[in-house]
Amino acid sequence: MSEQFDVVVIGGGPAGYPAAIRAAQNKLKVACVDEWRNADGRHAFGGTCLNAGCIPSKALLESTELLHRAQHEFASHGITTSAVGFDLAAMQKRRATIVKTMTGGILALFKSSGVVPVEGHGRLLAGNQVEVTGFDGSKRLLAAKDVVLASGSVPVRLGAVPHDGRAICDSWNALEFDAVPKRLGIIGAGVIGLELGSVWRRLGSEVTMIEALDQFLPMADQAVSKEALRHFKKAGLDIKLGAKVLRATVANDAVDIVYATAAGEQTLQVDKLVVAVGRRPHTEGLLADDAGVALDERGFIRVDEHCRTAVPHVWAVGDVVRGPMLAHKGKEEGVMVADLIAGRFGEVNYKVIPSVIYTAPEIAWVGQTEEQVKAGGRPYKVGSFPFAASGRARAMEAASGFAKIVAAADDDEILGVHVIGPMAGELIAEAVLAMEYAASTEDLQRTIHAHPTLSEALHEAALAADKRAIDSINR
Ligand code: FAD
Ligand code: NAD
């Protein structure tokens, strides 16, 4: 006998759990099936983001940034300290507590909104039925009018770099190290590599990053990438570009890496090696042969712009479908689908999804880079404002980086905003809102920004696009 629901969501990460909550808010009977288990063997909702991604990484980034500031910035404020040290076990305990509180919070949200939590592995069968295999092997059959697939992603592994979870690790392992590796290698200088590299560098690791591409952060505006590379090198990250890993082997508690650059074959020995070369959609065991849901050539579940799969009443959201692998993108897709199922309006504006890299300096952008606008051929103008000219950034001892706006030369529409500097991830929200409402640089120019705040940098960048900046030299 199957249990009947209006909506069954498979996956309780940042795409799945908001879909379940919104569907329940829409007065539908909802179950959310999730199979995540942490190192202690216990189940927790929240998926990669809360258990092994966004939240634990930000907890460690915050702790280690505070340590760095105490060690390197306090003196310039006139604050004297005796030697500042750290207790990694306590830092990790704090990280684990935050994760536990946040994942537990989802259960509380489910309870208050009426979502039925189901622990175990979900598999979509033909006819909108979901078979759930519990951790004890027991089976349950759920039937639903609509099914939402939100099974997320898993790290890409490299054949020549055999993962063992100890010496050769993924990002989850690297968030839970219980000792600081003296020499840390990271394959991939992308978002995960830079965030985790920053954490362990601040705690004392010698960090070497091996990146296959010649170009650093190719998805960011190139003025930002250039500035970022300069800062990361200064912070002690040894970033090797145009370097292809050929193999890695573990012997005597060390990892020997062989990689190739234009100069020929190179070797490197490290104590831990983290593979951070991207993530792939997770669909293993998700779909029965006759479920009818199609995958694309890269293994993502094929969906239209409203996240409908090829099967009526089966939807897919988050990392398992095309688009950036970001928690907030998945969340908006989940909410959209839950509203569409209930016959309400729902849409995701894929052109206005912010990206943030939580390093120091922080990096954030939304919309097109200057290079993309240029390639598109639309005449454009650029306005930049350096944080060196911001009183607030100076007061914060964080006066490096800039805010940059790219706008159309004809109708002044804001096409892209790029920030590298203090609180960039918070500042970008103003740009997101402006672009969501199709604002022009003139709209930003005429908006009053409190003084002295970091947000004035966006105001001044908008003015600079018309060579009317007040607090910096117009070029
Ligand atoms: P997931 O979070 O992967 O959740 C999927 C869930 O479904 C999991 O719990 C999984 O166990 C479960 N599941 C899978 N298959 C089944 C099945 N058949 N049956 C039952 N359950 C199943 N993004 C940001 O936006 N900001 C950040 O700062 C950020 N930092 C990150 C840091 C790291 C180290 C990593 C690895 C990722 C980070 N991300 C960040 C990316 C972010 O974590 C993902 O984009 C996000 O988690 C995707 O959400 P999702 O719900 O689609 O998938
Ligand atoms: P990524 O795509 O950001 O970076 C992977 C890097 O590895 C790229 O620079 C790529 O050129 C390089 N690479 C690929 N194959 C390689 C090889 N064989 N040798 C050397 N280098 C190689 O992926 P990631 O850092 O693994 O992150 C995965 C996903 O998680 C991303 O989509 C990202 O959006 C998301 N994430 C987001 C945040 C955030 O929003 N702050 C933080 C962490 C992760």
Q: What is the pLDDT along the chain (475 residues), one digit of tens a residue?
A: 899 999 999 999 999 999 999 999 999 999 999 999 998 899 999 999 999 999 999 999 999 999 999 999 999 999 999 999 999 999 999 999 999 999 999 999 999 999 999 999 999 999 999 999 999 999 999 999 999 999 999 999 999 999 999 999 999 999 999 999 999 999 999 999 999 999 999 999 999 999 999 999 999 999 999 999 999 999 999 999 999 999 999 999 999 999 999 999 999 999 999 999 999 999 999 999 999 999 999 999 999 999 999 999 999 999 999 999 999 999 999 999 999 999 999 999 999 999 999 999 999 999 999 999 999 999 999 999 999 999 999 999 999 999 999 999 999 999 999 999 999 999 999 999 999 999 999 999 999 999 999 999 999 999 999 999 999 998 8
**Do 357 and 424 belong together in one domain?**
yes
For residue 294, the domain's CATH number is: 3.50.50.60
Query: Among 192, 219, 241, 329, which is best to mutate for testing ligand 2, by the most ligand atoms less than 8 A from CB?
Result: 192
Contacts of residue 387, Cβ cutoff 8 Å, sequence gap at least 6: 393, 398, 399, 400, 401, 402, 403, 421, 422, 454, 457
Q: What is the pLDDT of residue 475?
A: 81
What was the pLDDT predicted at 171?
98
Q: 273 and 293: one domain?
A: no
Domain count, the chain: 3
**Catalytic-residue membership of 313:** no
Statement to judge: residues 235 and 360 lie in one domain: no
Q: Is 329 in the pocket of ligand 1 (CB under 6 A)?
A: no
d(CA 318, CA 334): 7
The answer to whether residues 284 and 142 belong to one domain is yes
Residues 36 and 146 in one domain: yes
Determine the structural domain holding residue 267 and report its residue range.
Answer: 168-277
In a domain, residue 148? The reply is yes
Final residue in a domain of this structure, among 250, 277, 304: 277
Q: Are 450 and 461 in contact (CB under 8 A)?
A: no
Query: Is there a single domain that holds both residue 96 and residue 54?
Result: yes
Q: Is residue 163 part of a domain?
A: no
Other Cβ atoms closer than 10 A to 94: 14
- Please tell me whether the peptide bond between 354 and the residue prior to it is cis, using omega within 30 degrees of 0: no
Residue 143 is assigned to a structural domain of this protein: yes
Same domain, 106 and 246: no
Q: Is 35 in the pocket of ligand 1 (CB under 6 A)?
A: yes
Are 145 and 26 members of one domain? yes
Residue 74 lies in a domain: yes
Q: 3-state DSSP call for residue 209?
A: strand
User: Buried b vs exposed e over 286-315: b needs ≥16 C-beta within 10 Å?
Assistant: bbeeebebeeeeeebbebeeebbbebeebb
7/149 same-domain check = yes
Measured at the CA of 71, the angle between CA 67 and CA 74, to 5 degrees, comes to: 105
Residue 266 lies in a domain: yes
Residue 1's pLDDT is 81
* Residue 103 identity: T
Backbone angles phi, psi at 454, to 5 degrees: -65, -30
Beta bridge partners of 314: 147
Confidence at residue 359, expressed as pLDDT on a 0 to 100 scale: 98
Most informative mutation of 171, 237, 268, 277 for ligand 2 (most atoms within 8 A of CB): 277
Tell me how far apart the alpha carbons of residues 270 and 183 are, in angstroms, rounded to a whole number.
5
Is the CB of 353 within 6 Å of ligand 2?
no
Coil, strand or helix at 362: strand
